Amino acid sequence: MSSHIRRILDPAQLAALAEWRIKPPRTPNRVHLEAEGTSPERVRAWERQLNHLQSPCGCEQGAVGLYVGVVGYLVFLLLRPGGWGHPGWPGFWVGLGVVLVTTSTAKFLGILLTRRKLRRLIRVIQSEWKPQSAPERRQGPVFAKPARRPGGCCGD
């Protein structure tokens, strides 16, 4: 499996890293910043942070949510009026629902927080990285519109 490199030549190109994708790539492109006029150490630090934040999965936060859900349900079973006892199938489904909700919520919040950190990092990079010379953009031919005649319509 080869790793693709995404070269960023201008700070404005960083905004594409923060776009939501319906299906994120299995292996995200590595980011390589070609920032002239900025210290190489600073550029490498930005690259490490961008590579880490560009494809969040929320796994650590989902694991915390799983732990909170299981421990919370066990505490509920201990403190309920019937005691630990045998919770039965209804209690099993309630426990499963609690664990699914806490895990999913924590995973989703982890993804949102990571995306927020990515957008904040992109704003910081864009404020600090000032390109020395704007890249020349190729433009297609420019066609001038014919001047409108006063009072004329549709070629009259």
71/89 Cα distance (integer angstroms): 19
Cβ-contact 9, 40 below 8 angstroms: no
CA distance 15 to 31: 13
In this model, does residue 140 exceed pLDDT 60?
no
Half-sphere exposure of 65 (CA within 13 A, CB side): 20
Helix 40-53 with 88-128: angle, nearest 10 deg: 150
Residue 113: alpha-carbon gap to chain centroid: 9
pLDDT for res 148: 52
| Helices of type H across the chain | 40-53, 59-79, 88-128
**pLDDT tens digits for range 6-35:** 888 888 888 888 777 766 666 667 888 887
Is the pLDDT reported for residue 150 higher than 80? no
pLDDT at 78: 87
Which pLDDT does position 110 carry in this prediction?
Answer: 94
29: three-class secondary structure by DSSP: coil
Torsion, Cα of 53, 55, 57, 61 (10° steps): 10
Each residue of 110-137: pLDDT tens digit?
999 999 999 999 999 888 887 765 544 4
Cβ proximity of 95 and 68 under 8 Å: no
> Each residue of 85-116: pLDDT tens digit?
777 888 889 899 999 999 999 999 999 999 99
43 backbone dihedrals φ, ψ, rounded to 5°: -65, -45
Q: Which two tokens stand for residue 10?
A: 């201008």
Q: What is the pLDDT of residue 151?
A: 55
- pLDDT level of residue 3 (50, 70, 90 thresholds): low
Radius of gyration of the chain (CA): 27
Rounded CA separation 68/97 (Å): 13
Q: What is the pTM of this model?
A: 0.69
The single-letter DSSP state of residue 10 is S
